[in-house]
Structure 1
């Protein structure tokens, strides 16, 4: 009998398991093993500090972000006084699982089947080695099993209705010549690549992640990625692996079942709108799920599981609302995307955007700059400013 079973061993599940083990709870982690999520791999300085990420996991340090418009306009935004770290999810996720195990979590490899309740709560899974069903018993369960979470679908109202982008990327051998810059992330806003999201070229040291995402049915993700590679001069680079997966677009209205299950990470829908950033928010979601579970274990009150969502949205809800509004405003057409990239020329936009990204909160230190950005936003969205103006 464990205190908590964590289903899923990605950043959210591994973080929850480590926090719980360090808090004195008995924890089991169930992970499928062998799966690498498609991900650009960007982690901000706050994540590195908050979760004690060692230097050796950073395969690149990004100093510039390049925004590319539908007409090919390029806006390079320097990352002042810092960098964005890049990680390879294969190594990063394995490190987090190993650290959780070192803290005292017990690891099991297999596929989640269902939750049964016959006197106690049991997670039923198919053991990867034995090939047969096994039961793990616990007082609580944390569902951290991804965007199409089976735990969420089975246990939490609304858990089967999460809007999502289908993301696809190719890990390639990074070129040594041409226009590729190993210290620069390229974000491509072009309806020919993605009609409602964006494409990316993110350096990973000796490798690079090239991909895109879309909610639109019928979009050929592989063909779009091939077009992005060709436009970026990367068509001839060796392809190391290909990966695809859903990315949720909105936090669920409820993260717990009112009894013994709480969700974390992609399973709870905590990927930032507009940017698609998920690693930091997944790990933060794992941390608040662990805090809610510890509160529930101590009090015996199932309602304490609601703390996970409450704590997360208290700190990040406003950022999610702002980014959601920006995505709805600017990602709807190439004309709007052109205007968005044009807006990125503004120095106030550049500074406040990256200050918010690096620190994971809206910056309130310069109210005049916020007012100017708001007025410029209205001018671009209303068409008062031509899209081609810089």
Structure 2
């Protein structure tokens, strides 16, 4: 097929992971095709920590709000405030933010196309063929085909690239998330603070995860998630809006999607396909945070792909997962334990929120979140938290 376009890498999916991988590879001089659907916005609280802003050069104008604290709400409706001491968490609106990332990739030299990925095949020489349907195609059966020396699947939790190329990619459990974007209320019009994220650990709002109210400046994300099939996500969000007075706010849009619960055991096919972002399962347990880890995973995918192209050794693709887990695996493990132990019932969640009053818990939580690494310099505080955990879990301490 001599007339087919050939790219060093075709990136399927233009969210934070795919767009970052495309940007980094283009900057390294690789020919890159960034293929993305139009108009798809993932349900997301939109929080990005300072480390993401620093590491990935996120300009201030992309931050629609700066959060200076969080409020945890227990099953009993008790509230615990967790102020950020001297810092903030940035908030982005995923529609404009993701588009800005894609435009940055194009500016770096990547070719952008809007279309829907269909399938992978191979030509006579063994190179991958990426088949996609352009958005402008009048015939639903019309597809375009390009050659790819390597492929990055960054097409979300239900990645078609992953399901076609990487064994076991369809076995990861998911939290199902839903949110509504509303016009933010005026001051005093509802139980709302434009500089505070509210997190609700209440069974009627989520039996096994949490519900949230995250300010985005002129808009606000109100959402929830659950692993339980059949749980009424929309009804839970409607209930949260009623109890907080946000039901009077205009609804601008709503989205729902699955969120993976832990990283896949394998991110590549051992030949020329590598996964990144939600497709690789890099969403933090307990918090559901994904933007920073998608950005980081996209960068590591670009590094591994570039090394594989430079050396011709497909084993380099496995470096993306190896390096990611070396940097973040312990945090994911601890957050997974937290979710399994503390989210399992309203009784344990009541005690979890109670622990959030502790100054040591607040300091270490924010330091770890803001910098994306475990805090090792305060062993005494870690020991105090450990024994408080045990006492709370055994019911020996007041929640």
Q: Structure 1 segments of 4 or more deviating over 3 A? A: none
2:333 to 310, 321, 343: 321
Q: CA deviation at 1:337?
A: 0.5
Superposed, 1:172-191 pairs within 5 Å as: 172-176=182-186, 177=188, 178-191=190-203
1:351 aligns with 2:382: no
In structure 2, the partner of 1:260 is: 272
1:133-182 residue CA offsets vs partner (Å, 9 max, x unmatched): 00111100000000000111111011111211010000001111233110
Q: CA deviation at 1:386?
A: 3.0
1:365 aligns with 2:372: no
Of residues 273-282 and 375-384 in structure 1, the stretch that sits farther from structure 2 once superposed is: 375-384
Superposed, 1:189-208 pairs within 5 Å as: 189-208=201-220
In structure 2, the partner of 1:20 is: 25
1:64 aligns with 2:72: no
In structure 2, the partner of 1:143 is: 153
2:233 to 217, 221, 225: 221
Q: TM-score, normalised by structure 2?
A: 0.96
Partner secondary structure for residue 110 of structure 1: strand
Partner secondary structure for residue 36 of structure 1: coil
In structure 1, the partner of 2:115 is: 110
In structure 1, the partner of 2:3 is: none
1:42 aligns with 2:42: no
Q: TM-score, normalised by structure 1?
A: 0.98
Q: Name stretches of at least 5 consecutive residues in structure 2 with no aligned partner.
A: 1-5
In structure 1, the partner of 2:261 is: 249
1:235 aligns with 2:241: no
What is the rounded CA distance, in whole Å, between the counterparts of 2:253 and 2:38 in structure 1?
17
1:30-71 residue CA offsets vs partner (Å, 9 max, x unmatched): 101111111000000000000000111111000010000000
Partner secondary structure for residue 235 of structure 1: helix
1:194-234 residue CA offsets vs partner (Å, 9 max, x unmatched): 00000000001011000000010111110000011112221
Aligned residues: 387
What is the rounded CA distance, in whole Å, between the counterparts of 1:165 and 1:337 in structure 2?
18
What is the rounded CA distance, in whole Å, between the counterparts of 2:322 and 2:301 in structure 1?
10
Partner secondary structure for residue 34 of structure 2: strand
1:330 to 342, 366, 380: 342
2:178 to 168, 176, 179: 168
Q: CA deviation at 1:130?
A: 2.1
What is the rounded CA distance, in whole Å, between the counterparts of 1:85 and 1:79 in structure 2?
12
What is the rounded CA distance, in whole Å, between the counterparts of 1:36 and 1:244 in structure 2?
9
What is the rounded CA distance, in whole Å, between the counterparts of 1:251 and 1:232 in structure 2?
35
What is the rounded CA distance, in whole Å, between the counterparts of 1:57 and 1:355 in structure 2?
23
In structure 2, the partner of 1:125 is: 132
What is the rounded CA distance, in whole Å, between the counterparts of 1:282 and 1:304 in structure 2?
20
